[in-house]
Amino acid sequence: MTTKRTLAFLLLAAALPLLFFIGRFAFTFELLGSGVRSTHHGWLGPTPRNPGNCAVDIGKVNSWECSDISVFTQHRLGCDLWLRIFGYAEA
């Protein structure tokens, strides 16, 4: 019985950071929204929630008009994965 509890604890300890990462990414970005492209940095990721005047709708995608791309760099792994899943970046 003790080994089952230990295994359950280890699985929970491994799953919590992953769930936190996914939740934080989903809370920060519009996951089913348009992709964002910058003229200087290329594809950045999904459109952040409440982007202000930084995200400009240019058709099927958004253009990032601000120099601050920290929201994308903080979530680089999630943004790269999102771009690949939705076909904006090649694998």
pLDDT for 51-80, tens place per residue?
889 999 998 899 999 999 999 999 999 999
Enclosing domain of residue 34:
2-85
Average predicted confidence (pLDDT) for the chain: 91
Three-state SS for 74?
helix
Report if pTM > 0.75: yes
Looking at residue 91, what is its pLDDT? 45
Q: In what order do the strands lie in the sheet with 55-57?
A: 42-46, 35-38, 62-64, 55-57
Q: pLDDT tens-digit profile of 20-35?
A: 999 999 999 999 989 9
Residue entry with tokens 């992709």: 35
Note whether residue 73 is domain-resident: yes
Number of domains in the chain: 1
Whether residue 74 lies inside any domain: the answer is yes
Residue 90 has pLDDT above 70, yes or no: no
